[in-house]
Amino acid sequence: MLQSLNVRATLVSLVMLVVLLGIWELANQAPAADKPLTEYEMLMGGADQEARVPPPSAVIDLAVDELSNPFYDAGPNDKGIGIQLAYSVYRVLAGYLLAALIAIPIGFLIGMSPLMYKALNPFIQVLRPISPLAWMPLALFIIKDSEASSIFVIFICSIWPMLINTAFGVAGVRRDWVNVARTHELSALKTAFAVILPAAAPTILTGMRISIGIAWLVIVAAEMLVGGTGIGYYVWNEWNNLDLTSVIFSILMIGLVGMLLDLALSAATRLVQYQE
Amino acid sequence: MTKHFLEIDNLARRFPAKQGELTVFEHASFGIDKGKFVCIIGHSGCGKSTIMNVLAGLDTPTEGHVFMDGREVSGPSLDRGVVFQNYSLLPWLTALQNVTFGVQARWPNWSKEQVREHSYKYLDMVGLGGGAELRKPAQLSGGMRQRVSIARAFAIEPKLLLLDEPFGALDALTRGTIQEELLKICDATNQTVFMITHDVDEAILLADRILLMTNGPHARIAESVKVDIDHPRDRSSIIHDPGYYPIRNHLVDFLVRRSKELSGAVAPETDAQAAGAHPKIVNPAADATAGNTSAEHSAA
Ligand SMILES: Nc1ncnc2c1ncn2[C@@H]1O[C@H](COP(=O)(O)OP(=O)(O)OP(=O)(O)O)[C@@H](O)[C@H]1O
Ligand SMILES: [Mg+2]
C-alpha cells in the first residue's frame, strides 16, 4: 500500500515536471519570423534576444557541460560550479559549527538556570531580529577580511535558532527523568550528559536544522555583497554577464545543495529521536 | 530520639494554592524498623505519592523531618531505591540499559561484564529476558515497563526500597510471581520496604504493618495495623491463617467507611497526633482470636 503510494507520488511528480518544463520550453521559443520587427525593436537590435528566458533545454545542456567538469579553475572570474559551491559550503559549515559550539553550551546554561534565562533574554530578543546582512559593514570594518566577515555573518544568523531551541529543550526535560538522575546520585555533569542531553537532543537538532537552512539562505546574499568566490558571487557574476542560462542553472544547484544539507540534518535528528 | 531505622517525625506537606494553602497531609509520624515491610493504603489523591517523594528526598516537607539510620534525609540517595508510580524509565535507553544505568551509578568501579551480569540477574527475576530487554520502553507493554522499573530499583540493592504501586499494571499471574519473589528477597536479605498500594490482599501478603491514610486534603495516618501472620507466607496458604480475614475486614471497613469519616482538618480525637504522636496501633488478628468481632472466618 505504502509502496504503491510512493510509486504513484513519484509518477505524479514526474508528470508535473514534464508538463512544467514543456510549458516553459514552448513559451520561450524564438518568435516566428513572419512578424516583422517594429521600428523600435529594430533600433534596439532585436531586443527579444535578451528579454527571453532561456528554455530548459538550454539549461540542461549547460548543466551537462558544467557538471562534467565541475572543478576547473580558469582564473578569478571563471571557476567550475563545484568550486563555487565548495566555497559556499565551507563558509556555511565554518560559521555554523562555530555557532553550534557557542549556542549549545549557552543554551544549556539558559535552559538550566531561570536566572540566566531572565538575564540573557533581553539581549537575545534584541539581537535575534537583526538581519544578518546588517552586520556585514561592521564585520568588514572590524575583521577587515571579506572571507572571515561572511563566516561571521553565517555565525550570527545560525546561532539564534540553536540557542533558543537548546534552552527550550533543556528547560522542558521531564521532571521524572531528572528525578531518576537525582535518585541515582548522578553528578551535575553526568546528569547533563546522561539524561538532559539525550532528552533534549531532538529539540536541539531541530534548532540545528532550522539554522542550517537559514545559513544557506544567507550565504548567497552575503557572497553577492562581498564578491570574490562562492555560489552567491557566481550568480551575481553571471547576471552581470547577462548569462541567464547560468543563473538558472546555479539557482537549481543552490536548491539542490540546500536540500542535501537539510537531509543530512534530518537524518541526524532521526538518530537521536526517541518515542515516549 | 531516633530509635527506628526510618523515623518520620510530624511530617506535613502543603502546596501554595489559589486561596491560601493546600494541605495534602499533616501530622504524619511513624517509624520503620530495619527489615520491616510497611505498606500504606489510602484513597486516590490522599497524598501517598507526596509522602513517598519526601521519604525519597526528592521533595522537602513543609514541616517535620525524616531520619534514616540516624541521619536526616535532605536529598535523594542511592541508599533509597525508588519505583515511581509512572515507571520513569529513560525512553532513549533500552530496558537493559535502563537497569545498567542504575547499576553503574551504584558501583562505578565495576567492569562492563559485571554490570551486565548483575543487571540480567534482576531482569530475570522480574521475568524479562529473551530479547525483550533489548527493546526501548515505548515498545514494551505497561506491565513490562513496570517490571523494568522494579528491576532497576532492586538492582541497586538499596537500604530502603520505596515502591509506589509497583504492581498496579501487572496481570494477576505476573503480579503473584513478583510478589513472591519480593517476599523471598525481603526474607533473605532483611530488606526494609515502604510500599504504596491499593490492593488490600497484596498489603496483607507482604506487609508487617499497614498504615491507613484518611482522605485528603488534611490527610492523616489514622492507624497502624499490625499484620500478625508468620513468615514465610505464600499466597495460597495465607488466606487460611486465622488472622487473615479479621485484618482484611478491618482494612476494607476503613477504606469503605472510616477513611471518609476521619477525614478533614484537626478532628478532636487527633489532638494527641497533632502533638507528634504515632498512629494508634491495632491488631485485628489478635483481637479476633481474643474472641472479638468478625470471628466468622477464624475457624478456617
Ligand atoms: N506539585 C503539586 N502542587 C500542588 N498540588 C499537588 C502537587 N503534587 C500533588 N498535589 C496534590 O496532592 C494531592 C495528593 O497527590 P498524590 O499524588 O500524593 O496522591 P496519591 O495518594 O499518590 O494518589 P494516587 O493513589 O492516585 O496515586 C492531590 O490532591 C494533588 O492534587
Ligand atoms: Mg500516587
pLDDT at A41 (0 to 100): 57
User: Would strands B80-83 and B160-164 be described as parallel, antiparallel, or unpaired?
Assistant: parallel
User: How far is the C-alpha of A215 from the C-alpha of A158, rounded, in Å?
Assistant: 6
**Helical H runs in B12-65?**
48-56
List all residues 6 or more positions away from A142 whose beta carbon is below 8 Å from its beta carbon. none
All three cell numbers of B63, joined, read 514541616
The mean of the pLDDT values for chain A is 89
pLDDT digits (tens, 9 = 90+) for A134-165: 999 999 999 988 889 999 999 999 999 999 99
Q: Residue A263 sits in which domain range? A: 77-275
Q: Which ligand 1 atom sits nearest the alpha carbon of residue B48?
A: 21
**Domain membership flag for residue A23:** no
Residues in B 89-108 with any Cβ partner in A closer than 8 A? 90-92, 101-102, 105-106
A237 vs A46: which has the higher pLDDT? A237
Nearest CA to ligand 1 atom 24: B44
**Measured CA distances, A3 to A14, B186, B247 (Å):** 17, 55, 63
Q: Which residues line ligand 1 (CB under 6 A)?
A: B 15, 22, 24, 42, 44-50, 85, 216
**Measured CA distances, B71 to B10, B68, B231 (Å):** 16, 5, 30
Nearest CA to ligand 1 atom 3: B15
- Is residue A76 pLDDT above 80, yes or no? no
User: Would strands B71-72 and B63-68 be described as parallel, antiparallel, or unpaired?
Assistant: antiparallel
Of B78, B84, B101, the CB nearest to A176: B84
* Nearest one of B100, B134, B135 to B119, comparing CA atoms: B100
**Measured CA distances, B200 to B212, B214, B295, B297 (Å):** 11, 15, 19, 17
**Domain membership flag for residue A197:** yes
- Is residue B297 pLDDT above 50, yes or no? no
Q: Distance from the CA of B167 to the center of ligand 1, in angstroms?
A: 19
Superfamily of domain B1-79+160-240+250-265: P-loop containing nucleotide triphosphate hydrolases (3.40.50.300)
pLDDT at A192 (0 to 100): 93
- Is residue B276 pLDDT above 80, yes or no? no
Q: Distance from the CA of B15 to the center of ligand 1, in angstroms?
A: 10
Place of cell 562534467: A68
Q: Where are the domains of chain B?
A: 1-79+160-240+250-265, 90-157
User: What does the DSSP assignment read for A139-165?
Assistant: HHHHH--HHHHHHHHHHHHHHHHHHHH
Number of domains in chain A: 1
- Which DSSP helix (H) or strand (E) runs through B280? strand B280-282
pLDDT at B265 (0 to 100): 58
Quickly count: other Cβ atoms within 10 Å of residue A246's Cβ. 21
**Domain membership flag for residue A251:** yes
Ligand nearest to the CA of residue B164, numbered in listed order:
2
Strand, coil or helix: B10: strand
Half-sphere exposure in the Cβ direction for A259 (13 Å, CA): 6
At residue B275 the predicted structure's pLDDT band, cuts being 50, 70 and 90, is low
Contacts of B91 in chain A (CB under 8 A): 274-276
Pocket-testing residue among B22, B82, B200, ligand 1, by greatest number of atoms within 8 A of Cβ: B22
At residue B296 the predicted structure's pLDDT band, cuts being 50, 70 and 90, is very low
- Residue contacts between A and B (CB atoms, under 8 Å): 56
B249 vs B284: which has the higher pLDDT? B249
CATH number, position A146: 1.10.3720.10
Q: What is the ipTM of this complex?
A: 0.85
User: How far is the C-alpha of B200 from the C-alpha of A162, rounded, in Å?
Assistant: 52
B286 vs B64: which has the higher pLDDT? B64
B215 vs A264: which has the higher pLDDT? A264
Q: What is the pTM of this model?
A: 0.84
At residue B300 the predicted structure's pLDDT band, cuts being 50, 70 and 90, is very low
User: How far is the C-alpha of B52 from the C-alpha of B43, rounded, in Å?
Assistant: 15
Nearest residue on chain B to A274, judged by CA atoms? B92
pLDDT at A104 (0 to 100): 95
**Domain membership flag for residue A40:** no
Contacts of B101 in chain A (CB under 8 A): 180, 184, 194
Q: Distance from the CA of B98 to the center of ligand 2, in angstroms?
A: 22
